[in-house]
Amino acid sequence: MNLTISNDNIVLTDIRDFDLTHTFECGQCFRWNRVDDYSYLGVAMGKALKIELHDGVVVMYDTSVDDFNDIWQYYFDLPRDYGKIKSRLSEDVVLKNACEYGWGIRILKQDSWECLVSFIISASNHIPRIKKIIQLLCENFGDELSYMGNTYFTFPSADTIAKLTLDDLSVIRAGFRDKYILAAAKMVTGGEINLCGINRLSNADLKKTLMQIPGVGNKVADCILLFAYARHNSFPVDVWLKRIMEHYYFENKQRIDDIQAFSTEKFGELGGFAQQYLFYYGRDNKIGL
DNA sequence: CACCAGGCAAGCC
DNA sequence: GGCTTGCATGGT
């Protein structure tokens, strides 16, 4: 990777294994939207960013070297060698195809609070609707952010949400999930759950702690482990992964627990990466439907 | 071609 | 099995 600065834009060359569509459309995040064929714009970590990738050159618009160094290089997991990960996973023929299909996926390192709320909202929900609910949440309760001549909104803090009533929250149309969001905010604000502090916990303890939060079950906890705490052996199994795994690796229906155990055995420390390649590949190709 | 009714969706309790 | 909501689906 090579970094140069022109005006207020960060330009990266010699970037491998990175594709914006693969990364933003593989179901891990909900606040990035396509601008044109080569770029996306999103809000994350309290900042707005337009990112473009064309002919192997990444441009991050109107940002700073400090923000790149402190935030974006880690958010996009740029220091990690995904080529090595893919070549190891490709020993399995199914994964080989999945890696070739979603070759540019990177697992984002997202803010833990945003990730927690986002995946509480994701329960029994489709991506377009998840995105709409989160957008309403930000527009109604986030802080205004001015960027490249437009206004965007940050993801509202736990403190902000904890002060709301269920009636206030009804504007986001989250349905039965609204009470979980409110309860989660109160647990975080009240110190019952320390989202930073629990980073030191083992995977098992971290998951157990997160599952104390209402609205966080096995699957949602696995997503938070993978997308916010960089526990890359986490293998979230939703209905898609269940179908995909059954299709490729089993003769018949399986219990989620059994699929998870099988995946842990098969993919080990790379389970989370495998999950993302499989999900993106399987969903786009409607595997198991 | 509207329009409506019932099903159901990246789960959790 | 119930939960909120929105929407793709198929029937009229």
Residue A227 pLDDT grade (very low, low, confident, very high; cuts 50, 70, 90): very high
Is pTM, for the whole model, over 0.85?
yes
Band (pLDDT 50/70/90 cuts) for residue A211 is: very high
* Proximity of residue A90 CB to strand B below 7 A: no
Q: Is the CB of A214 under 7 A from strand C?
A: no
CA distance A268 to A124: 27
Return all residues near A8 (Cβ < 8 A) that are at least 6 apart.
A61, A62, A63, A64
* List of A residues 269-288 with CB within 7 A of strand B: 283
Is the CB of residue A47 inside 7 Å of nucleic acid strand C?
no
Q: Which nucleotides of C are covered by protein (CB under 7 A)?
A: 3-7
By C1' distance from the Cα of A125, the closest nucleotide is B9
Please give the torsion angle defined by the CA atoms of residues A27, A30, A36 and A42, in that order, rounded to the nearest 10 degrees.
Answer: -140
Residue A279 pLDDT grade (very low, low, confident, very high; cuts 50, 70, 90): very high
- Quote the radius of gyration of chain A (alpha carbons, Å): 19
Tell whether the model's pLDDT for residue A289 goes beyond 80. Answer: no
What's the CA angle centered on A67, arms A63 and A69, to 5 degrees? 125
- Does residue A253 surpass a pLDDT of 80? yes
- Mean pLDDT, chain A, integer: 95
Segments in chain A forming alpha helices (H)? 20-24, 65-67, 73-75, 82-89, 93-101, 112-122, 127-141, 158-162, 166-169, 178-189, 203-210, 218-227, 239-249, 256-267, 271-284
